[in-house]
Amino acid sequence: MNEGGLRIVHRRPRCGGYTRRMNTAAIDYARYDHVRPIRWTGEALELLDQRKLPFVVEHVSCRTSDEVADAIHALVVRGAPAIGIAAAWGAVLAARALDASGTVPVNAAAAAEALEPAFQRLNAARPTAVNLAWALERMRRAIRHFPDDWRGALSREARAITDEDLAANRKMGTLGAQLIAPGSGVLTHCNTGSLATAGFGTALGVIRAGVALGRIDRVYAGETRPWMQGARLTVWELLQDGIAPTLIADAAAAHLMRTGRVQWVVVGADRICANGDVANKIGTCQLAIAARYTGVKFMVVAPSSTVDMATQSGGKIEIEERDPGELLSVAGHRTVVEGVGAWNPVFDVTPAELIDAIVTERGVVERPNRVSMQAMFGE
């Protein structure tokens, strides 16, 4: 049981996937895991404002669930695991607001009903990332399972979600690094590190572990237009841990692969479907296509909470679209002539057949398909 009393099942895959014997003794987490984007003070949720990095390090203090939802939508906090964690603490704040309003629920069922509008607002903040809905469902279950102490259960569950994510990231880091031959170069996209999680990161966790274990010699990061998460966040974060990445323009990725400088593309995920299709930051699919063409391997790293076995394929995923104006300006300065329109999808779907490995804390699924995904993640 976790702190909130919910059972966490660690399944041994029946086929199509496997777990590896891990040796984490060589990873110095005190050196390679400095950054924390989410802090619970006991009274408020403090979020590292990722819109202002790398030149301004500032936290936004959220004291209501609506403020958390606004922060998620505005990209103060981003990354599928991180927004799930933020939403969980947002649920705790919603419960406290309910008590402060003077309308104290008579029982847990009444509390769940009263909290549902806040849960819905949190869930609507970023609809593509499944972790958001997953975390909120865990909070709903905590209320149901502990009707006599639902307030305490919500706090314990939010803490458990946070702690489990950090542990999962460290495990995935080692599992993914063991797939990479010593002396390799890797390319990553967007930001999938501590800033996007409780700590250590998903794809960046693999890179951190790979550097620590002597398997990765070269790290490249794409800039990730239009919010420049690679240029603003990933390179800053890696430098905090003494890892010096090389930044490239997004359009240079295929050429980089053809030079032989990278052997793996390592990315995160916002949703993984039952057939192995992956929704991730816009531009991921074209990286997978270029990787397959040039013989570079393609790895997706995400916790099992990102796996959505109820969504059969990528065509069923709602793809978030943001303000087209984000493409027309840089740092608030318009760079495109008036009268030009823009289309700004935030995510795309990479077909399973372009993926060499999906790494989760449960194990590794190589060349994912419906059968191997069911073997690893089916209930």
Comparing C-alpha atoms, which of 243, 169, 237 is closest to residue 206? 169
Comparing C-alpha atoms, which of 260, 241, 250, 193 is closest to residue 221? 250
The band of 4, judged by pLDDT with boundaries at 50, 70 and 90, is very low
The band of 15, judged by pLDDT with boundaries at 50, 70 and 90, is very low
The span from the CA of 86 to the CA of 16, in Å, is 33
Instruction: Select which of 33, 49, 241, 270 is catalytic.
Output: 270
Mean pLDDT, range 18-41, rounded to an integer: 79
Q: Mean pLDDT of all residues in the chain?
A: 92
More reliable by pLDDT, 129 or 179: 179
**How many alpha carbons fall within 13 Å on the CB side of residue 140?**
15
Could you tell me the two tokens for 327?
């493409």
- pLDDT tens per residue across span 199-219: 999 999 999 999 999 999 999
For residues 295-308, one letter each, b for 16 or more C-beta atoms within 10 angstroms of the residue's C-beta and e for the rest, the string is ebbbbbbbbbbbbb
* Domains of the chain, first to last: 28-167 (1.20.120.420), 169-377 (3.40.50.10470)
Residue 18, strand partner residues: 364
What angle do the packed helices 150-177 and 108-124 form, to 10 degrees? Answer: 40
DSSP assignment of 236-254 equals: HHHHHTT---EEE-GGGHH
More reliable by pLDDT, 23 or 96: 96
- pLDDT tens per residue across span 326-349: 999 987 889 999 999 999 999 999
The span from the CA of 286 to the CA of 271, in Å, is 17
Question: Quick one: pLDDT at residue 23?
Answer: 55
Question: Quick one: pLDDT at residue 13?
Answer: 39
Please give the model's pTM, rounded to 2 decimal places.
Answer: 0.88
The band of 16, judged by pLDDT with boundaries at 50, 70 and 90, is very low
Question: Quick one: pLDDT at residue 2?
Answer: 36
Question: Quick one: pLDDT at residue 239?
Answer: 96
More reliable by pLDDT, 101 or 47: 47
The span from the CA of 222 to the CA of 232, in Å, is 10
The span from the CA of 164 to the CA of 174, in Å, is 16
Contacts of 93 (CB under 8 A, 6+ apart): 44, 45, 62, 63, 64, 65, 67, 68
Question: Quick one: pLDDT at residue 21?
Answer: 53
Question: Quick one: pLDDT at residue 330?
Answer: 86
Q: Is 28 a catalytic residue?
A: no
- pLDDT tens per residue across span 132-185: 999 999 999 999 999 999 999 999 999 999 999 999 999 999 999 999 999 999
Mean pLDDT, range 179-197, rounded to an integer: 97
Residues 240, 273: contact at Cβ < 8 Å? Answer: no
Mean pLDDT, range 211-236, rounded to an integer: 96
